[in-house]
Amino acid sequence: MCNLDTGESAKATLRSAGWFPGRAVDIGSYVKSWAGRGIVVNRNAENLCREFGGLKIIHPPHVNVGSEEYSDFTNLDPVCAVDGISDTPLKEYSKIAGESLCPVGTNRSHMTVLVGASGRVLAGVDNYLFEIGANRVEAFNRICAGLPPKKIGEWAPMMDS
């Protein structure tokens, strides 16, 4: 399977989520979910989901409230991502990115994680689009380190009259 050339810290975080070299999951339910919404699936999204689909990655930042620590997480569940995003934001995010995007999960509890045909890993929330990483290695290094994504654009939502 794919070789993930991340730093050791990122590999340790991914391993604690259940990832291991050579991991391969059946992506049939993901493909069905994408197809059911008419979403064009790209090879990069398929490959990422085949290796990392179903993982819930617990990562920084961590917030302490009293004696409790709450960690951020990235949930790589394409079915949940597809169910959680409507057509308009997906189209607008694709316009901003300049490529078709495929929803593959959620990040920071409220962003939709998207993979472009180029392999870029992005995140959309409300009318904003962010880049997590130029490719999946950079994205996983940044996610596992708790680094924020970089804003790349926004669209003006239509207001109801």
Phi then psi dihedrals of residue 53, to 5 deg: -55, 140
pLDDT in tens, 71-106: 889 999 999 999 999 999 999 999 999 999 999 999
Q: Which fold has domain 8-154?
A: SMI1/KNR4-like (3.40.1580)
Cα torsion through 46, 124, 97, 100, rounded to 10: 40
Confidence category of residue 127, pLDDT binned at 50, 70, 90 = very high
Domain ranges, ordered by start, for the chain:
8-154
| Dihedral sign of CA atoms 143, 148, 153, 156 in order | positive
Q: What integer pLDDT is reported at residue 67 of this predicted model?
A: 85
pLDDT in tens, 25-48: 999 999 999 999 999 899 999 999
pLDDT, the chain, mean: 90
Structure token pair of residue 81: 């991502």
Contact 127, 156 (CB under 8 A): yes
CA–centroid distance for 15 within its chain? 17
| Dihedral sign of CA atoms 14, 110, 135, 33 in order | positive
Q: Is 87 helix (H, G, I), strand (E, B) or coil?
A: helix
